[in-house]
Structure 1
Amino acid sequence: MKTHMIMALFTAMALFQTLSGQSNSEDHYVGTFSNSQSGLVLSMDKAADGTYQGFFQLQGQQYAFSKGTKLLGMINAEYQYNGQAFAFSLSRLIGEYYVTSEGVSIPVVKTANQPVAATKSTANTGNSSKTNTATSPTTISSGTGTKATTTAPAATGTRIADPYIGYSFQTPAAWNSQEQGGGFVLSKVGTQVSMSVSPHEYKTLAEMRAQVLDANDPASNTYLKAQTKEYGSNGLFIRFDGTAQGKAVVIEMISLLSPNGGGVTVAATGVKDQYGAEYTTLIKSMANSVQFSKPQTSSLAEQWKQKIKGKRLDYYYTGNGMADHYIIHICSEGTFVYKNDNSYSSNNAYTDFSYASAGADAGKWQVVAKGAQPTLILRFNDGRVWEFPMSPGKAGNEILLNGKRYFVQAGTMCQ
């Protein structure tokens, strides 16, 4: 529901209660309110003069307010950040509470009938000579088109680098990393949440945003709702909520653009009841640590690149009375299409290269030299990444990919 519709509904309900003479001696607005997904906590108390006071807390930062007043059944107040005032309201509609600030409303749950005490070391009233480490007020946001706060503690683990793609990042302390699928997978003993860092090929934020879609797959009982927010000046914060194969899950990711083209995505995935705000903070700390560099090239990688560029690689397999023929079309502009010959004979659509190159069995290719080992990397459009160590074959028109013989020949379907 749009924000202006929510606010209109709040006002209508408040006016109805006023006109009908409904009253209640209990003050529903005194207490502690929270939203578990965003980590928002609102503590509200009533002062002796009848006004409301308290603080917001989000990701370790607290923002104090006072002199809140009740108008049309809503509490209206202002919280302070570095001397600036930001308006917000707390509303109650048919037993449900909502916090609204800067045109965005999010639901909160009343978790206690008493307010909680502020932590003096982190409270920010805007009058202290010491300012906290946040560079901008924490954004209360929900849905597409808002900005996500980039504030997070610095990661303190090991710095991991992929010089061939051109990026490095800092891992969180106590998390182990393993190179896998063209990127890195992170894990920690005792947690069921997994994190990863992987490169992408997007050129613009608009191109990236266009690919963020809800997932609705009855066959696998997967239904995920997508939310997108801007992250700094060169990234997007993306969150998926829903079910995957029948399990309630949360997927969060931050995709950043590199000034050298492409970029990286930092992601975390977990079962919803085990996924807390601390994991949002962790992926932000990693994303904030990302450093981009110009991708390294080598004469060895360039030699192998020229050997397969614009060619088709054919692999034949015979066994158990069956024969298969797999083909990788290595296109000069950096794309590839992977199919077997049965696919072509049964589906005329794949004779159209523009159609095939957009499919799941297509993507971008790259040759890198990992030490003295040339490696072909295929990054599929559906997220798969295949890596093939390369070596010479017995004949001049053969190469070995991961030890298997492929014939290098003309006749690629690239245009």
Structure 2
Amino acid sequence: MNKLLYLLIFIFISNILYCQTISGKVSDSSIGITFNVPNNWKGQQIPQGYIFVSDIEKGFILVTPHNFKTIDEIVENANMGINENNGTVLSLSDKLEINENSVAGIFKGFLEGQAAISFAKSLMSPFGGGVAVFVFVESENYSEKYKEFVNEICNSLKFSEPVRSSLENELEQILNNCRLTYMNNYNSGYGSGGIQDKIIIDLCEQGYFNYYDESQVVMNADDVSGYSSGNKNNTGNWNVIARGDQGTLILNFDDGNIAEYNLTFEGEKTFLNGNRFFRTYKDSNVEGTQPDCF
């Protein structure tokens, strides 16, 4: 789960108390799923899927699609646990429950600095990808009934062929064979150097992407000069999804990591999670701005 996910989750949890909520049965043709919401739980759709809270029970439930291709990929990801930069670290605490089409496990650690336990179950869809269901509860309040809530959702879950929305088709057309470039320079002042951020994402029509992190730390002090460069080159598969009128770019890296970016546009300007990226294509006449797509 990406690093901004938990912040977004807590924002939506607050909104659930005041906005129209979802309960009963959920049907989402864009993901290709239907499932039943457990009694006394209510929720909202978010860019990452669906989130549910209860006036009676503690914690929250997250239902989110995944793009893993095999059970082995899910197992590998589960063994890595959840490790974010915001005080969230949960590690697998027991042996995984592995079946033909699902993987489940209990994770213990900290969520936003609070001791927490999560039971998670990931299912494979016959149409590709699948769905993961998580429950997160403070450690002192966790019991087996929270595992039952997750299993209740999973047992009711039915898959169908996803139907792409007009927004998803439009976004895919915009981003096919496109280079997205982010640049930001920060100078610490007084001649001491700074940081030069440069990230390039090539989105190719065949469904793969190239990701280049060319960020540099520049040093220019009295006794030290030079730079260090990230030079991180990564590849994987990309996709766009829409939740209502919000488009999201998903990068599935070959090493198992997943990055999600909320897409917004202002005229010809493109923003990923609020950061401006320059968008160029193969017909660009500026050297070095054409996407590396075959």
- The TM-score range, normalised by the shorter chain, is 0.5 to 0.7
Q: Does structure 1 residue 188 correspond to structure 2 residue 67?
A: no
Question: Is contact 2:178–2:281 with CA below 8 Å preserved after alignment?
Answer: yes
CA distance in 1, matches of 2:71, 2:209: 24
TM-score, structure 2 normalization: 0.66
Which letter maps to 2:131? V
**SS in structure 2 at match of 1:288:** helix
CA distance in 1, matches of 2:279, 2:81: 39
Per-residue deviation, residues 93-136 of structure 1 (Å, max 9, x unmatched): xxxxxxxxxxxxxxxxxxxxxxxxxxxxxxxxxxxxxxxxxxxx
| Aligned residue in 1 for 2:44 | 178
CA distance in 2, matches of 1:400, 1:245: 27
Question: Is contact 2:64–2:133 with CA below 8 Å preserved after alignment?
Answer: yes
Per-residue deviation, residues 259-308 of structure 1 (Å, max 9, x unmatched): 11000001111222201111111000011111211111255533431332
| Aligned residue in 1 for 2:138 | 271
| Aligned residue in 1 for 2:162 | 295
Which letter maps to 1:306? Q
Pick one of 85, 89, 98 that aligns with 1:230: 98
Question: Is contact 2:214–2:231 with CA below 8 Å preserved after alignment?
Answer: no
Larger radius of gyration: 1
Pick one of 20, 31, 34 that aligns with 1:168: 34
Which letter maps to 1:407? R
| Aligned residue in 1 for 2:129 | 262
Question: Is contact 2:213–2:230 with CA below 8 Å preserved after alignment?
Answer: no
- Where does 1:94-105 land on structure 2 (aligned, <5 Å)? none
Per-residue deviation, residues 161-201 of structure 1 (Å, max 9, x unmatched): 33222222221122121223421111113543221000111
Question: Is contact 2:32–2:161 with CA below 8 Å preserved after alignment?
Answer: yes
Going from structure 1 to structure 2, the CA distance change for 1:168 and 1:259 (only over 3 Å counts) comes to same
Per-residue deviation, residues 365-402 of structure 1 (Å, max 9, x unmatched): 3234566x572422565455322145652xxxx55667
| Aligned residue in 1 for 2:250 | 378
Pick one of 99, 108, 119 that aligns with 1:252: 119
| Aligned residue in 2 for 1:366 | 239
Q: Does structure 1 residue 412 correspond to structure 2 residue 284?
A: no
CA distance in 1, matches of 2:230, 2:184: 24
CA distance in 1, matches of 2:27, 2:136: 22
CA distance in 2, matches of 1:347, 1:364: 25
Shift of 1:255: 0.5
- Where does 1:10-409 land on structure 2 (aligned, <5 Å)? 157-213=23-79, 222=89, 224=91, 225-231=93-99, 233-242=100-109, 248-298=115-165, 301-316=168-183, 325-336=198-209, 341-342=214-215, 346-347=228-229, 349-350=231-232, 353=233, 356-357=234-235, 364-368=237-241, 373=245, 375-379=247-251, 381-382=256-257, 384-390=259-265, 392-393=267-268, 399=270, 404=276, 406-409=278-281
| Aligned residue in 2 for 1:91 | none
Unmatched tracts of structure 2, length 5 or more: 1-21, 189-194, 218-226, 283-289
CA distance in 1, matches of 2:51, 2:138: 17
Shift of 1:242: 4.9
CA distance in 2, matches of 1:278, 1:230: 20
Unmatched tracts of structure 1, length 5 or more: 1-155, 358-362
CA distance in 2, matches of 1:241, 1:339: 34
Going from structure 1 to structure 2, the CA distance change for 1:189 and 1:374 (only over 3 Å counts) comes to closer
Using the aligned pairs only, state the percent identity. Answer: 25
Question: Is contact 2:238–2:249 with CA below 8 Å preserved after alignment?
Answer: yes
CA distance in 2, matches of 1:281, 1:244: 21
Which letter maps to 1:275? Y
Going from structure 1 to structure 2, the CA distance change for 1:386 and 1:174 (only over 3 Å counts) comes to farther
Per-residue deviation, residues 23-55 of structure 1 (Å, max 9, x unmatched): xxxxxxxxxxxxxxxxxxxxxxxxxxxxxxxxx
**SS in structure 2 at match of 1:211:** helix
Going from structure 1 to structure 2, the CA distance change for 1:216 and 1:226 (only over 3 Å counts) comes to farther
TM-score, structure 1 normalization: 0.49
